[in-house]
Amino acid sequence: MGSKLLHVTVAAAAALTLVGAAPAVADRDTGHGGGEHFTVVGHRGASGYRPEHTLASYELAARMGADYIEPDLVTTKDGVLVARHEPEIGGTTDVAEHTEFADRKTTKSLDGVEVTGWFTEDFTLAELKTLRAKERIPDIRQRNTIFDGRYQVPTLQEVVTLAKRLSRELHREVGIYPETKHPTYFRKQGLALEPKLVSALNKNGLNRHGAKVFVQSFEVSNLQELDPKLKVPLVQLTSATGAPFDFVDTGDPRTYADMTTPEGLREVARYADGLGPDKNQVIPRDAAGFLQSPTTLVRDAHRAGLTVHPYTFRAENTFLPADFRSSEVPSEYGDLFAEIETFRATGIDGLFTDNTDVAVAQREERLAG
């Protein structure tokens, strides 16, 4: 196991004891995958209920019981880290309605894919703050659209400040789980994300053993470079297909499939403390969308000393395995409880979810016995 992770679990237990709650039992003490300390990450906040990556979304996730809130990080033109899933913001803000920014619409190559729209790195923070967030998938989450136009794009600092305020109010530590998005893409534009992230963690007293922070990335070289600079645990994200873009960019032939073999996982464990796989890498689906037998990924990752937090658990039928869908209607809810129970049986240590309330309720039911 990564030594950074041990410090997190011990500190989390101490923090809870300080505020009078039942002390947490570290996964490392009880074995992977079970028990009180199963980690619930509010994926992009509570994005099943609010437009993603808004302070309202993060706050709701924390109030629902998320252990961590998860900002995906991109940068502005003036080098401020802000929370968006992608640099392109046409899909998650009202930028298209701002005629003053019409000439910023452009086409760029993003990790080898041509993308047309508006990009955060072409806006100063002051300009970005004039925009308002909107629901990314309104056809699936029509109810969330009632919140369109109400919230700004938050900075990382605003997310950290929110987490600190809610930690005081809720009498438990709300962690942050930031992801560096498209690190190579930003570095090539002279806007590297990593120095800003290290600086922000330092400034907020969060670059220390035991701080309730995980840092994640789909790329590898940036995590390797961050490893000696950060005292908090790092999580290597993996996809069910493809390869890290920094590998593609430098001609390294390794793929995510290579990285998730037992040998590949031992390499990951040299710099990371956790693995964030696509949930289909944990339990694949057949052509009709039904779950097949679990892979050995969780066991192999644990043997390499990595904690495992797969993504992303969502309540709508369109995201669920066929086993747990309630109907053919993509936006209707299926049985997310059952999906989480099924995946927890593989020994995962936590998960990313758009529906924190369901994952927390499942955890409480399991603890109640």
CA distance 319 to 4: 33
Q: Does 216 bind ligand G3P (CB under 6 A)?
A: yes
Whose structure tokens read 């950290």? 160
In this chain, which of 46, 215, 352, 362 binds ligand G3P, going by CB under 6 A?
A: 352
Whose structure tokens read 């050995």? 296
Whose structure tokens read 């490893």? 227
If the CB atoms of residues 13 and 144 are measured against Ca ion, the closer one turns out to be 144
Instruction: Give me the least distance between CB of 70 and Ca ion, in Å please.
Output: 6
Task: Give the residue at shortest CB distance from ligand G3P.
Answer: 311
R_g over Cα of the chain: 20
If the CB atoms of residues 15 and 159 are measured against ligand G3P, the closer one turns out to be 159
Binding mask 226-265 for ligand G3P (x = CB under 6 A): -----------x----------------------------
Instruction: Give me the least distance between CB of 136 and ligand G3P, in Å please.
Output: 11
In this chain, which of 276, 277, 305, 321 binds ligand G3P, going by CB under 6 A?
A: 276
Contact status, residue 76 vs residue 128, Cβ threshold 8 Å: yes
Binding mask 73-112 for ligand G3P (x = CB under 6 A): ------------x---------------------------
Interaction residues for Ca ion, span 65-94 (CB under 5 A): 72
The span of 64-72, 108-116, 154-162, 291-299 binding Ca ion (CB under 5 A) equals: 64-72
Instruction: Give me the least distance between CB of 299 and ligand G3P, in Å please.
Output: 21
255 preceded by cis ω (within 30°)?
no
Binding-site residue total for Ca ion (CB under 5 A)?
Answer: 2
If the CB atoms of residues 127 and 135 are measured against ligand G3P, the closer one turns out to be 135
Contact status, residue 329 vs residue 317, Cβ threshold 8 Å: yes
Q: In what order do the strands lie in the sheet with 81-83?
A: 81-83, 72-75, 179-180, 215-217, 234-238, 274-277, 307-308
**First and final C-alpha spacing in the chain:** 29
Binding site partner of 311, from Ca ion, ligand G3P, none, Cβ cut-off 5-8 A by kind: ligand G3P
Whose structure tokens read 């452009």? 106
Phi and psi at 160, nearest 5°, equal -65, -45
**What tokens does 337 get?**
């409880």
Helices (H), 171-252: 183-187, 194-203, 221-226, 245-250
Binding site partner of 172, from Ca ion, ligand G3P, none, Cβ cut-off 5-8 A by kind: none
Binding-site residue total for ligand G3P (CB under 6 A)?
Answer: 10
Measured at the CA of 204, the angle between CA 235 and CA 197, to 5 degrees, comes to: 45
Interaction residues for ligand G3P, span 306-325 (CB under 6 A): 311-312
Binding site partner of 276, from Ca ion, ligand G3P, none, Cβ cut-off 5-8 A by kind: ligand G3P
> Which residues does residue 276 pair with via DSSP β-bridges, in sequence order?
237
Binding mask 8-37 for Ca ion (x = CB under 5 A): ------------------------------
259 Cβ contact list (under 8 Å, min separation 6) = 220, 236, 238, 244, 265, 267, 268
Interaction residues for Ca ion, span 148-187 (CB under 5 A): 179
Alpha-carbon distances, residue 243 vs 193, 246, 254 (angstroms)? 20, 8, 7
Task: Give the residue at shortest CB distance from Ca ion.
Answer: 179
Tell me which residues touch ligand G3P (CB under 6 A): 43, 72, 85, 179, 216, 237, 276, 311-312, 352
Tell me which residues touch Ca ion (CB under 5 A): 72, 179
